[in-house]
Structure 1
Amino acid sequence: MTTLPDAKLYIDGKLRDAEGSKTFDVIGPWTGEVVGKAADASSADVDEAIAAARRAFDDTGWADPENRGERLRLVKKLRELFEENKGRLAELSRVEAGAALGAVAMAHVDNANLGWDDYIKVFEEVTWEEDLGQRDFRNMPSHRKIVYEPVGVVAAITPWNVPHYVNVGKVVAALLAGCTVILKPAPDTPGLGAIWGELAEQAGLPAGVLNVVFGSDPAAAGEQLVADPRVDLISFTGSTGVGKRIMEAGAQTLKRVFLELGGKSAKIVLDDAPNFARECAQSLLVFHAGQGCAVQSRLLVPRARYDEAKAALKAGYEGFGDNWGRFDEPTHIMGPVVSKRQQERVMSYIELGKEEGATLLAGGNARQDKGGGYFIEPTCFIDVDNSMRIAQEEIFGPVLVVIPFEDDEDAIRIANETPYGLSGGVVSADPVRAENVARRLRSGSVSVNGGMCIAGDLPFGGFKGSGMGREWGIAGIEEFLDSKVIAVGQAA
């Protein structure tokens, strides 16, 4: 297993150690062993990063309208450097985040970089000013316009599951909007944050425009960022519980917040679905060990075809077999979960499913034979009622639950009876029927018959407990803008 270079902080244009040269160990999910060292930022380090970002926003021309072209040039230069370092990104995603080799070319690296390209393309379509023309309101004629300007200092707090993808989603949009940024990655994946500082320095970003801080405590730096009045906006991706705490704490300084939170998304396979058995068999929750907020972790199938669905799933899991969990196998898309803590959490839900009366169709075991890391075999529960906790709570592991429904109305009811609303899917031979079902799902994105509903040029976000606001596409840049009305009257 690779030993990673030390992950350094990046504050006010300088790569540096933490205060007192304090570090913490980075544990690799494949082995459970130390794979690197990372700077362990102190409160003073975080304070310096906030101060640097504030100065860069207030006292330089970074946010000025006439600087948009230079911002775009530097973001493009940074993109080129990330492309040149794609091999390092892949290595970091594998060693830190536990990505299997076959998954790297998808969400972890390539899709993230493609999303970056989409941001660059849609940047030209962002509306910066609207002329509303003249209006005489109560004998007060005014020429009105709306101008859109950057919010200010942004704290981007990102998770460990697909770090580069989420880092791109937040940092690139905020920089293009004209904000300055403090990136705070998870302690499990500091290297995927540290590389931003290293390449920002090479790209020539002005000092303070981008800062990167991380530490061994998963919450301390984030709590400091949320509480500090110099930070204008928090962009957070992570659990719904933490998102609620951010909203509560941010209220003290009236923070603007973007929250992309948990999910318990449903895939609905209707009774007329073409290749019904194949559709069920391909619904295994195995990509990146199920560690995705938008994964379809509930499979809803017609009760009239329930036995057929179970047989197809059983064959699907048997066919998938042991084709997962090898570090250097390019066809594998599933590796370990990210940490011992996460392994214990997922295993506790598997035990809970048994206690609730669900039946294991496949899996259910930790796999120490795969090595010293945090492996859980692909798992599927049948005989699940939507009221069970395994059907209502986000497990964030390779655990699929299968729920029968009576008709379209029942499927819609079950899909919507969850605290979440992030993504979902509908499959039917009748595209009109499928889209009618999709329109009634309380969810931020829905795939109909395999349509790609998550891409860099599309807004992404959730309903209900899955968060607020939208990331990616034009909407992702607009999250970091505020509107100002200017009304010009007639001079006296």
Structure 2
Amino acid sequence: MHNYEGIYVSGKWSPSAGARIAVTSPASGEVLGHVTAATSEEVGAAIAAARDALERGPWATTTAAERAAAIGRLADAIEAESRDYADVVSAEVGSPRKWTSFGQIGTALGVLRTFEKITPEYRFEDRRPSVIGGEVLVRQLPVGVVGAILPWNAPLFTAFLKLAPALAAGCTLVLKPSPEAPLALSKLTAAVEAAGIPAGVINIVSGDVQTGEALVSHPGVDKVSFTGSTAAGRRIGAVCAADIRRCGLELGGKSAAVVLDDVVLDQKVVSGLVTGVMANNGQVCAAQTRILLPRSRYEECVDAIAAAVAALTVGDPANRSTDVGPVINSAARDRIEAHIQRAVQDGARVVAGGSRPHGLDTGWFVAPTVLADVHNDMAIAREELFGPVCVLIPYEGEDEAVALANDSDYGLAGAVWSADAARAARVAARLRVGSVSVNSPAPLDFGSPFGGFKKSGVGREGGPEGIAGYLETQSIIL
């Protein structure tokens, strides 16, 4: 049982007057632990602690090298207990344990190690000639107190995509985990203390929508960074705009994997296509859930993908043989099943899955599903499902493939698969999305910017561009 009741403010856990929240396993429904929903007054206290650490604590005078070292010590502390973190995330999210070590914890550490490396090299000051004579000193200053609202699907990884560049920039933070998966982030407090990060630099308030509203609307927050649904992001963006407050929004996706007609359909390619959809039980914002297939090789590709998905093992995420675990809750399962049923009514053909897996009567399981003969105007090809479902869409020629990939309200990620890497790169450059992988399901690189076009969000995370998002520019004219 993991109990983290209260709020983590100024380097210690303090009692909270908020309601107790039970965290349950999506695989079994069993209670894993408890957290407390922070009240609006307690959110205010966390923000005040972050402000004090920003302006008066030792963090205010750190150098870039010192902040990089602190990020590195935080990575060391987490790495020392990486198995425990993987177990907690697997239990509360339902991620298959054999995937969690890399897909949840390895990626989180990769973000920290990347910012540990690039922060000392970042130019926080620059002198340039003034056009009116003399010089201008251009300074990059921390934006201030950051309110970070986090999703449940990859709690540590998404937290570090915000926390690491914010720390690199010299900011302080108030983190709000999702009520579905707050345990790993609450456990993070021990690593923060082990790393010697000063009190008040990182504060954590758990809770639901009301806690999030209190954080987003508080005038003491200089920037809000949010990862989650487009609907919630629209609301957060509106609140921030009303107060002229900075915000970064990493939102939904309906990414396309374009399979070109020269592809060698071997095990590596098929496995990559399946991984791009089914990783983390399909609960990845950048999941490549639309697979676009050349009509000249359509049935060949359909058969190969369907066979690979049908062979996946569904079950308890703690079991090392499990490939696909449960979705996060009953509402998610019901929504996914309704989408599958509607797609079949609209003419889609189920070639794998399509129903609940046998023998899994507890938990929120959906059989990994492949739907063929899908048209790009169907709801299942346009709306984010966040589950283990992929749709196969035929196309005629490269131009139509690009047009179909771009015909979406979203623009987060994508992939191109081809025997000719140069050709794939040319096609990738035509996609209106934030990141495109060539012959790989990997949706991002830790040292490069990640974020979306269109309704997939505003701003970028990762790489030097991630640090820039937590800075304000000041010019001193000498």
TM-score calculated relative to the size of structure 2: 0.95
Return the offset for 1:393: 0.7
- Return the match for 1:209 from 183, 194, 201: 201
2:123 equivalent among 120, 127, 141 = 127
Which residue number corresponds to residue 234 of structure 1? 224
Q: Which amino acid aligns with 2:48?
A: A
Q: What is the CA distance between 1:112 and its match in structure 2?
A: 1.2
Write the letter of the residue equivalent to 1:11: V
In structure 1, the gaps of 5 or more residues are none
Provide the C-alpha distance between the structure 2 equivalents of 1:233 and 1:17, rounded to a whole number of angstroms.
27
Q: Give the Å deviation of 1:60.
A: 2.7
* 1:342-400: CA deviation from partner (whole Å, max 9, x where unpaired): 21221221122123221111112223622411111101111110001100110000010
Partner of 2:53: 56
Q: CA deviation at 1:283?
A: 2.3
2:384 to 369, 377, 394: 394
Map 1:323-338 → 2, pairs under 5 A: 323-338=313-328
Contact 1:277 1:308 in 2 (8 A): no
TM alignment of 1:14-163, pairs within 5 A: 14-19=12-17, 22-64=19-61, 66-136=62-132, 141-163=133-155
Q: 1:454 aligns with which of 444, 447, 450?
A: 444
CA, structure 1 residues 451+318, in 2 after alignment: closer, same or farther (shift >3 Å)?
closer
Describe the SS at the equivalent of 1:293: coil
Is contact 2:145–2:172 with CA below 8 Å preserved after alignment? yes
Distance of 2:44 and 2:356 partners within structure 1? 41
Residue identity (%): 38
In 1, Cα distance between equivalents of 2:441 and 2:364: 33
Displacement of 1:276 after TM fit?
A: 6.3
* Equivalent residue letter for 1:36: G
Give the aligned CA root-mean-square deviation in angstroms. Answer: 1.8
Aligned 8 A contact 2:83 2:101 in 1: no
The aligned length equals 476
Structure 2: runs of 5+ lacking an equivalent: none
Q: 1:186-234, CA deviations, whole angstroms, 9 ceiling, x for partnerless residues?
A: 001111221222322333322211100012x2x1121111111110101
For residue 435 of structure 2, give the secondary structure of its aligned residue in structure 1.
Answer: coil
Residue among 221, 246, 250 paired with 1:256:
246
After TM superposition, the structure 1 stretch with the greater mean CA deviation from structure 2, 406-415 or 194-203, is 194-203
Q: 2:350 aligns to what SS in structure 1? A: strand
What CA distance in whole angstroms lies between the structure 1 residues aligned with 2:127 and 2:444? Answer: 33
Match of 2:456 in 1: 466
- Structure 1 partner of 2:407: 417
CA contact (8 A) 2:216 2:240 kept: yes
Q: Does 1:317 align with 2:288?
A: no
Q: Partners in 1 of 2:266 and 2:401 — Cα distance? A: 16
The 8 Å contact of residues 273 and 441 in structure 2, kept in 1 or not, is answered as no
Q: Is the 8 A contact 1:282 1:316 kept in 2?
A: no
Q: Distance in 2 between matches of 1:232 and 1:368?
A: 50
1:316/1:68 Cα in 2 relative to 1: closer, same or farther (>3 Å)? closer
Deviation of residue 44 (structure 1)? 1.6
The Cα of 1:282 is off from its aligned counterpart by: 4.9
- Asked if the contact 1:154/1:235 (under 8 Å) is kept, the reply is yes
Aligned equivalent of 2:286, options 280, 286, 294: 294
**Residue 479 (structure 1) aligned with residue 457 (structure 2):** no
Give, in whole Å, the separation in 1 of the partners of 2:451 and 2:126: 26
The alpha-carbon deviation at position 324 of structure 1 amounts to 2.4
TM-score, normalisation: structure 1: 0.93
Of the structure 1 ranges 327-336 and 298-307, higher mean CA displacement relative to structure 2 is found in 327-336
Query: Relative to 1, partners in 2 of residues 1:331 and 1:121: Cα closer, same or farther, differing over 3 Å?
Result: farther
Separation in structure 1 between the aligned mates of residue 210 and residue 444 of structure 2, nearest angstrom? 32
Indicate whether 1:176 and 2:173 are aligned: no
Counterparts of 2:345 and 2:358, CA distance in 1: 23
